[in-house]
Every structure is written in structure tokens, then in C-alpha cells.
Amino acid sequence: MASNNVTKSLVELQKEYLLPTYSPELLFIKGEGAWLWDDSGRKYLDFGSGIGVCSLGHSHPAVAEAIRRQVGTLTHISNLYMNANQPKLAEKLVKRCFDGAVFFGNSGAEANEGLIKLARKHGNPKGRFEIITMNDSFHGRTLATLAATGRAKYRDGFAPDMPGFKHTPFNDAKALAEAITPKTCAVLIEPIQGEGGVMPADAEFLQEARRICDEHEILLMFDEVQCGMGRTGSFFAWQHYGVKPDALSLAKALGNGFPIGAFIVDEKYKKVLQAGTHASTFGGTPLACAAAMAVLDTLEKNSILGKCSEKSEYIFGRLNDLSAKFECVREIRGVGLMIGIELDRPAAKLRKSTEDKALLTLTAGENVLRLLPPLNVTIPEIDKAVEIIEQALVEFSA
């Protein structure tokens, strides 16, 4: 059902002219910070952030201003020419990550496609092409990233799977070591699985994965599309764990809503992808890079990143208190402001119930309610969200 004042004609247009791949029920017309307004004027607290994208909240003034300024100056010129923003943004990312170089694209799946191509290009001279990824992982909806994704349900109906991918159980270093063959060229891991149910990797698992990759001289690659860009309280999720990958992918929060993706490659592998081996028409436009530079600067300038751990501690404390009151809550888990509430049954009903109470949340896997609030969420906003989740849990467990 559409929200109150959505005109019938708009719903009809949606049904008639859009592929039915999504089934939205609400129409939002304005956003500011952690808040969204629907077409009837109802205000919602957004703890989904557009699936982990608007980490600085909606319509952040610094990002809006950067886009406004750039759009009137230069929007797109193609990568046949240099633009002033792309190298500057790349420098900012590298300085915060590790010595290396960046390639810009437009989405998470495209960033992961880049990682896959990097790994194959590096492995092919030795006859290596196979990439090991984890069960329950999610890497995107293109054919290669679907094949990399460790949940078969996303691949249903799109056979045959693109060859060259193997899945092993998450957090199982022994299984990973056993899966390596002379054909393996890389291991790809989400340090904190998002769609799969907000499952953080064990530090020992990532350390072992690093050791195994070094031993076999294959690439360790992290998908930080959802868990990167400050979500864990560290700029990159690898820094939270202290396990450095050879390459990582980013997207989602990099542009705070302006589409941009990227992959960063360690200095050692910088020359693997040479001129003509990879490209993207819209990758790294002056406009996208202006937005992302404003995001990076804002994250640090306003100590948003610095305060993330404090807020994380607060919300985990509040949610743990809550979980003690409800038998249906199995576990509160996550890192930073990437939070999963695991239930003893499917979470869809609870998500809907919070939405009815004007709190937007997400599900992850079957039984997990996922919270990805903006990183600059305030303590009163956290209190409000916890209060609504408590009300929803009362009804859910009844």
C-alpha cells in the first residue's frame, strides 16, 4: 500500500512503466540529517541510510554545496582527459588507506568486478583464475559478482553461473586453506558481512587468510562496499582488524548518495591493470569526485568518524539492555554503527512494524534486523530509535 497522499496515478505509473524488481510502499520527498519526510508530511527516523549510503545523513550541506558548485563548472569529460578532482580524491583515499592507486567506477558491483579483473589479470600468467569467496557473502548483482556471492538464492534463474568461483564457510580458516588449488588467484572477503546477516569476521580468521594468501602468493581482497568509509569507526574496515588486504572495493557511502565506486590496489599490484585493460565511461567524473571529496573532508573535519565508536558503544549498550528483556532476541552484534539484531524468527515483520512507527530499518539474511544509522546520528535520535524498536518488539513477541 502506498503512503496516504500518493496519488493513484503515480502508483499506476510505477506499476506500468517500471520493471517490478522492487516493491516500494512509501514515497519520500525530502530528507535532512537522519530524517525523511513522506508525501503526507509524516517524518521518519532513517536508520537504514539508503542501505548504508547516506552516512552523513540526507542532504548534507557540505556535500550538497560541493555538488552544486561543481555541476555548474564541469560535470563530465570522459577519462580521455584529466579532471582536477579525480587525482585529488585518489590521493585522499590512498593517504587514508595504504600506499597504492585507485580506479573509479559507479557502484559496488562495478568496484568488485574491478577486483575480480585485477585478480585474474595477476593470476592468468601462471594459469590461475579461481577466486574463493565466503558462504553468505554478497558482492553484487552483475554476473561475475553474483557468481562471487555466497548465497545461491540470488543466482536462481540466471544459470549458468560464471565459472571461476568457489565458496567456503565464513570464519573457517581451515576450509579456506583446503580450498586453495594451483588455479586459485585470490580470496575475496567482506570483513563484516552485511546482507548475509551483519556477521563480523573473527580477527584470527582474517589474520589466517592473510597468512594463507601470502604463503600461496595470491591476492587477499576485501569488499568494503558496505563496511568501509567509517561504518566500523575506522576509516576502512581492515584498519579495525589490523589486517591489510592487497586490494579493496568501496562504493555506497563514498558519495553519500552521489553514485561513485572505487577499488584501491596496493602499490605492489599497481601495474597489473595497464592502459586499455579496464575502463568506465562515468568513472571518476569531476562531479562524482567533488561529492566524494566533500564526504571525506566532512567525515574528518567534524569529528564524525572520531565520535562513531562512542555512539556505537552507546547504542550497543541500549540494545543489549533491550535484548535482555525479549526472548525472541538471540544476539546483538556488529561493529561501529553496522548493527544486527538477530531474532529467533524472520525479521521482516519487525522491520515493517518499526516502519509503521516511523523508524526505517533494514533486514539482513532471514532473521536479522539491520541498523545502519548515519554516522553523525545524535544520542537523542538513538534513544528515539531504541524506544521504537522496543515498542515493535513488544508486539512482535506477543
Member of 190, 208, 246, 381 binding ligand PLP (CB under 6 A): 190
- Least separation, in Å, of the C-beta of 325 and ligand PLP? 31
CB atoms within 10 A of CB 329: 22
- Least separation, in Å, of the C-beta of 52 and ligand PLP? 7
CB closer to ligand PLP, 109 vs 218 = 109
| CA gap 152, 64 in Å, rounded | 39
CB closer to ligand PLP, 113 vs 246 = 113
Residue 149 touching ligand PLP (CB under 6 A): no
Residue 381 touching ligand PLP (CB under 6 A): no
- Cell numbers for 183, please give them: 588455479
- Least separation, in Å, of the C-beta of 153 and ligand PLP? 15
| CA gap 3, 28 in Å, rounded | 9
Member of 49, 55, 70, 107 binding ligand PLP (CB under 6 A): 107
Member of 48, 50, 140, 340 binding ligand PLP (CB under 6 A): 140
Member of 251, 262, 296, 371 binding ligand PLP (CB under 6 A): 251
Residue 133 touching ligand PLP (CB under 6 A): no
Choose the stretch contacting ligand PLP; rule: CB under 6 A; options: 23-31, 118-126, 219-227, 348-356.
Answer: 219-227
- Cell numbers for 297, please give them: 573532508
**At residue 353, what are phi and psi to the nearest 5 degrees?**
-65, -40
CB closer to ligand PLP, 226 vs 256 = 226
Choose the stretch contacting ligand PLP; rule: CB under 6 A; options: 201-209, 222-230, 235-243, 328-336.
Answer: 222-230
Choose the stretch contacting ligand PLP; rule: CB under 6 A; options: 13-21, 36-44, 223-231, 390-398.
Answer: 223-231
CB closer to ligand PLP, 128 vs 197 = 197
- Please provide the DSSP assignment of 122-153 as one string: HHGGGT--EEEEETT----SSHHHHHHSS-GG
| CA gap 366, 340 in Å, rounded | 12
Q: Name the nearest CA neighbour of 137 among 207, 189, 175.
A: 189
Q: Name the nearest CA neighbour of 251 among 221, 286, 225, 288.
A: 225
Site string for ligand PLP, 37-76 (x = CB under 6 A): --------------x-------------------------
Residue 223 touching ligand PLP (CB under 6 A): yes
- Please provide the DSSP assignment of 158-213 as one string: SPSPPSSEEEE-TT-HHHHHHH--TTEEEEEE-SEESTTTSEEPPHHHHHHHHHHH
Residue 377 touching ligand PLP (CB under 6 A): no
Residue 195 touching ligand PLP (CB under 6 A): yes
Residue 272 CA to its chain's centroid (Å): 26
Tell me if 97 sits within 8 A of 112, measured CB to CB: no
Residue 136 touching ligand PLP (CB under 6 A): no
The 10 Å CB-count burial string (b at 16+, else e) for 234-247 is bbbbbbbbebbbbb
- Least separation, in Å, of the C-beta of 56 and ligand PLP? 18
Residue 138 touching ligand PLP (CB under 6 A): yes
Residue 225 touching ligand PLP (CB under 6 A): yes
**At residue 300, what are phi and psi to the nearest 5 degrees?**
-90, -45
| CA gap 96, 94 in Å, rounded | 5
- Please provide the DSSP assignment of 234-292 as one string: SSSHHHHHT---SEEEE-GGGTTTS--EEEEEEGGGTTSS-TTS---TTTT-HHHHHHH
Residue 363 touching ligand PLP (CB under 6 A): no
CB closer to ligand PLP, 51 vs 322 = 51
Residue 194 touching ligand PLP (CB under 6 A): yes
Member of 55, 112, 184, 353 binding ligand PLP (CB under 6 A): 112
Q: Name the nearest CA neighbour of 117 among 150, 145, 149, 137.
A: 145
Total chain residues near ligand PLP (CB under 6 A): 15
Tell me if 244 sits within 8 A of 213, measured CB to CB: no
Member of 50, 108, 334, 365 binding ligand PLP (CB under 6 A): 108
- Cell numbers for 337, please give them: 554503527
**Site residues (CB under 6 A) for ligand PLP?**
51, 107-109, 112, 138-140, 190, 194-195, 223, 225-226, 251
